[in-house]
Structure 1
Amino acid sequence: MRHAQDGAAAAMSAASRVLVARGRNEPQEQEDPDVAWGQRARDGVWVPTRDGQRVHIGLGAVGGDAVAQVLRPTLRAFVGVDVDTDLLAQTTAGGVRLLTVIHGPDAPTEFRFSLSLPDGLALEAMPSGGYDIVHLRYGATVGRLYNPWASDAMFRPVKADYALEGQSLTMRVQHEGSFYPVVADPHYAR
């Protein structure tokens, strides 16, 4: 238990430093009763869409059995979800942030998130590198996966992008040569 607490503290410290350096335009942690977290990393999270449906985002990782440490009702830490990798899952107004904290060069460069969309919704690639969740009948955007960003311990940008493979979205983070920890942020909002 001590190792998990130390891991959560290290992940929070790294993510906090990077978020403060990025400025005030970042989505703020906030309670949202429409966001429902699973107990383990593999259980993922159910997030609302603008039309009242729910999308499931699965946190695919080697340590999928990692149990969430609930630090506050709006913040969970999944320590050791992969080699040298922790995940801080944060509830925001109408969405979530999945702050991926990469602690060293042995960490993977790809992080998979499975998506389960209700019937009538589809993913549409955006020029920004993100994906909109679109209502097929009306053509309206009902949710958005913003293009991920990443930054190293020296606050230098690290290349991050998505690759879509079926119903799985892979965040690729090219962190080799970076100063660790590296923080990457996939963010969903309705």
Structure 2
Amino acid sequence: MQATSSCWRPHQGDFAIDRGGFMPVLHGTSASSIAAVAVGALILGIAPTASAADEQSKAERTAAAVERIAGTEDIAGSALQSDGTLKSVTATEAGQPITVTTPATASGTISTTANGATVGIGLSNASQAKGIKSPNGTVVYPDVAKDADLAVQPTVAGGVRALTTVNNANAAKEYRFDLALPAGAVTDHLEDGRILVLTGTDEDADILGSFDAPWAKDANGNAVPTSYRVQDGSLIQSIDFDKNTAFPVVADPLWSTAWKWTKCAASVVVAFFPAAKAYKAIKALGGAKATARLLWGARTKGDFIRYAKKAGKNGAVQILGIAGVQSYCFG
């Protein structure tokens, strides 16, 4: 992905530049986005709207803090839409499109669409702050809540980062991201902190994507204790800072679509027949889809061997030897 040039200038009718000329401001609001899931709710209250100049200055500081911690190399390019949103379209190795939509205002919805399924991510009760796009592609929403900003980075891999910037010790310590999932979809909280989203609870359920294990870093790049929990349809991130923390703190729920999942599952299905070497091991784990989900949930081959106790160590090794497993199943 090529970063937007710092000397970029808007065409007439595109972005409007606030005073100071730092970043383009996205104007317009998507009614359909507001109706679905609000992006931007924090558990504490909402800060008052700042002046345009203040917002511009805050956006500049927030973008700098976020990009210093999260980087810019994998930010995907995005295009302004007629409703004021930004759309980023990337392609998988198989050529299938993945679309990430970034809302015009903090009360909109971040959404990703892959393989015909759309997942929405939002912070409830957020302010109406307009998104301000940095030259590198980070979209900042200043003052989405008391002493906190939100930044969004679509990635070239078809995922999206929703980065909360905590500006001081008076900010909330918990941030609630409402999830709009397809009908029947469920979450599975893994022991390494990741959260999988699956199409259902049955043995043939597919994986739609995952939230990476949570992280948070202070202004010096040091880790700040943080954790996830899923409650009442929302992903809640807790950040354990205190008055001695170096602010701002940047925390990042990263949603990644599981576009490789289909190939992972197919690799195991192909090997699930009575004459296959790994047949008994796959059967012991509950079948092809159940085995593929265990593989996907494992970060390493060692983790999978540990998870696949019912198959035995030799059986797990046989599964790891299936063609395509190591290429497609370790997301």
TM-score after normalising by structure 2: 0.52
Residue 158 of structure 1 pairs with residue 158 of structure 2: no
Residue 189 of structure 1 pairs with residue 256 of structure 2: yes
Equivalent position amino acid for 1:68 in 2: G
Partner in structure 1 of residue 30 of structure 2: none
Structural RMSD (CA): 2.0
Instruction: Determine helix, strand or coil for the equivalent of 2:212.
Output: strand
The Cα of 1:74 is off from its aligned counterpart by 4.2
Instruction: Determine helix, strand or coil for the equivalent of 1:9.
Output: helix
Partner in structure 1 of residue 101 of structure 2: 36
| Deviation by residue 1:77-127 (Cα, 9 ceiling, x = unmatched) | 100011111111111131110111111111110111000111132111111
Residue 4 of structure 1 pairs with residue 68 of structure 2: no
Partner in structure 1 of residue 132 of structure 2: 69
Larger RCO: Structure 1 or Structure 2 (Cα < 8 Å, ≥ 6 residues apart)? Answer: 1
Partner in structure 2 of residue 86 of structure 1: 149
Residue 104 of structure 1 pairs with residue 168 of structure 2: yes
Q: Distance in 2 between matches of 1:183 and 1:38?
A: 20
The Cα of 1:64 is off from its aligned counterpart by 2.8
Equivalent position amino acid for 1:114 in 2: D
Query: Which one has the largest radius of gyration?
Result: 2
Q: Distance in 2 between matches of 1:19 and 1:70?
A: 16
The Cα of 1:37 is off from its aligned counterpart by 2.1
**In 1, are the aligned partners of 2:102 and 2:152 still within 8 Å (CA)?**
no
Instruction: Determine helix, strand or coil for the equivalent of 1:56.
Output: strand
**In 1, are the aligned partners of 2:127 and 2:143 still within 8 Å (CA)?**
no
Q: 1:27 to 1:161 in 2, by over 3 A?
A: farther
Segments of 5+ residues of structure 2 without an aligned counterpart are 1-51, 78-87, 90-98, 258-331
User: What are the within-5 Å matches in structure 2 for residues 129-144 of structure 1?
Assistant: 129-136=193-200, 138-144=204-210
Please identify, of 68-77 and 97-106, the stretch whose mean Cα deviation from structure 2 is larger. 68-77
Equivalent position amino acid for 2:185 in 1: L
TM-score after normalising by structure 1: 0.88
Partner in structure 1 of residue 246 of structure 2: 179
Q: 1:106 to 1:144 in 2, by over 3 A?
A: same
Partner in structure 2 of residue 14 of structure 1: 65
**In 2, are the aligned partners of 1:48 and 1:94 still within 8 Å (CA)?**
no
Q: Distance in 2 between matches of 1:13 and 1:46?
A: 24
Segments of 5+ residues of structure 1 without an aligned counterpart are 21-25
Instruction: Determine helix, strand or coil for the equivalent of 1:13.
Output: helix
Q: 1:74 to 1:52 in 2, by over 3 A?
A: farther
**In 2, are the aligned partners of 1:60 and 1:111 still within 8 Å (CA)?**
no
